[in-house]
Amino acid sequence: MGYPSSEISPVSSLISKELFDTIFLHKDDDACPAKNFYTYDPFINASGCFPKFCRTGSLTKRKREIAAFLGQISYETSGWWPNATDGPYAWGLCYKEEISPKNDYCNSSNQEWPCFPGKSYKGRGPIQITWNFNYGPARKALGFDGLKNPEIVANSSLIAFKTALWFLMSEQKPKPSCHNVMVGRYIPTKADKEANRTVGYGLLTNIINRHECGNPNDRRFNDRIGYFQRC
């Protein structure tokens, strides 16, 4: 059973600045292009715009949700390499935008969220939001011009964290929201059951990047698990 968010402590009660900086131990190293970008206060301020984030259900569910979120953004922004100092999973939030994207991630057939000439909708921010059909809805929900000025996601820490939390909290039809999956408010469909998808971190990964799922030997999926376990 869930509880009214007004009766539950804020996200800062689950993760202090000290713990945040410990999880993302090397995010401000010179080796990280995002040095000094992903700071604690913008994260906490952004979380306040999503009153259900880590404020739904029992304390156990709330802790699991924030660990899942931090694990996923760690992977998406990782400065990963096998012999990294303190281990590869200590290098989350190292990047704020995709390096050498393969294309501009413009789906020209999507007329609802048209691309603007010369703009790239490559991965940016903690969740590496990608494609015009994500920048467009994020723009509508968060109030920034994601189609004309997608670069702002890599220039504003607050907006960067907001895009990541927006993605987590929003339903990605036909997929459920990551939030509902992590707090147990999603009932697996027939298709989920046939694909052996159960509610939890694996289904969350499927929502974010389905191409990594279905292969237990896929390094990418196992790395996501490693980041989750670290958190």
DSSP 94: -
Residue 126's identity, in one-letter code, is P
- Which tokens in the block code for residue 101? 């994207």
Q: Which residue in the block uniquely carries the two structure tokens 């990551």?
A: 178
Cβ atoms < 10 Å from Cβ of 41 = 13
User: Which position among 7, 18, 65, 76 bears the catalytic label?
Assistant: 76
The alpha-carbon radius of gyration of the chain (Å, integer) is 17
- Please say if 7 is a catalytic residue: no
CB of 125 closer than 8 Å to CB of 155: no
Q: Locate 22 and state its tokens.
A: 């410990």
Q: CB–CB of 158/42 below 8 Å?
A: yes
Contact at 8 Å (CB) between 168 and 69? Answer: yes
Written as one letter, the residue type at 89 is: Y
Residues acting as catalytic residues: 76
